[in-house]
Amino acid sequence: MSGGRASGASRAVRGRIVDTFADAGVSGVVHAVDIDSGGELALGADTLYSTASLHKVCLVATLFREAAAGRVELTRRIELPAGEARSPGGTGVAAMLDPVTMSLRDLASLAIAVSDNAAADALWDVLGLDLVNATMAELGLTRTVAIEPLREMYAGMRADAGPAGAAGLVDPAVVARLRALDPHRSNRGTPRDLTRLLAAIWRDEVCAGSYGVGLRRVLGLQAWSHRMASGFPFDDVRVSGKTGTLPTMRHEVGVVEYPDGGRYTIAIFTRSADTAASLPTADAVIGTVARMAVDALRLLR
């Protein structure tokens, strides 16, 4: 396809994506990249958003990069005590009642597979915010920064919600004052940065050999299929990714691999006007838009 025709096709796809987001009741931004050719589709790709659990990808990538350099042992076992010191969450170690001893790589698996906050915070404690941020900067993610572990983010949300507690998180007035939703006061990043990271992981630029294979394996474990994976309901198409969720915000970053060798990394960040915790159409539109973006890139190959 000629440059002019490709540019026109890209504009048309972006227009359809904007309409698709609107039909689902959300606003959204997208960055999709053909990992091998470098072709891209961008819609607000440099917009700064709160990353929520998307930052677990940065955390786990740092863990494997450090392990490949011989500075961390993936099989090192640590104990996560029970009780109030454990980070909140409804999955994995965060939902367990007793002390747990687990290796760093198994904690990484839980942090991705079921978005386990306690597992992720255990890794934050081992690696530190500064190391993760320095690693992201080294990889070229100039606008992706972590300022707090998840336990502190949730503590801030509880404080901001006030006496209403979790029930207040559907109140628009409460949502409007949540620091966690402000990318200048929370962990943050952009779609372009996150696709850069995933492309680097799939090209063995974060870590190579068995460490690269292990990192991609972990990123392929996510249990949730209601967002990006819903756009690719095929047995021979592999979707690896990580969701991120906060009140009114639903994101996902991932890599879609086709049987013909095509590899595409996609980051989709959305925000809804509706504050309801359950919005199936807002989840599903991420899969719809991801498929639109990948289809457009495949036409340009």
Q: Domain of 67: which CATH number?
A: 3.40.710.10
Q: Are strands 100-103 and 188-189 parallel, antiparallel or unpaired?
A: unpaired
Residue 1 pLDDT: 40
Q: Global pTM?
A: 0.95
Structural domains of the chain, count: 1
Half-sphere exposure of 63 (CA within 13 A, CB side): 32
* 3-class DSSP assignment, residue 62: helix
Query: What values do phi and psi take at 207, rounded to 5?
Result: -160, 150
Q: Between 231 and 5, whose confidence is greater?
A: 231
Give dist(CA 196, CA 207) in Å, integer: 14
How would residue 8 be classed by pLDDT, with cut points 50, 70 and 90?
low
Residue pLDDT, tens place only, 265-296: 999 999 999 999 999 999 999 999 999 999 99
Q: Which two tokens stand for residue 96?
A: 């367990």
With a CB cutoff of 8 Å and minimum separation 6, the contacts of 91 are 110, 114, 115, 116
Give dist(CA 243, CA 264) in Å, integer: 17
Handedness of CA 223, 183, 193, 126 (dihedral sign): negative
The residue range of the domain holding 132 is: 3-299
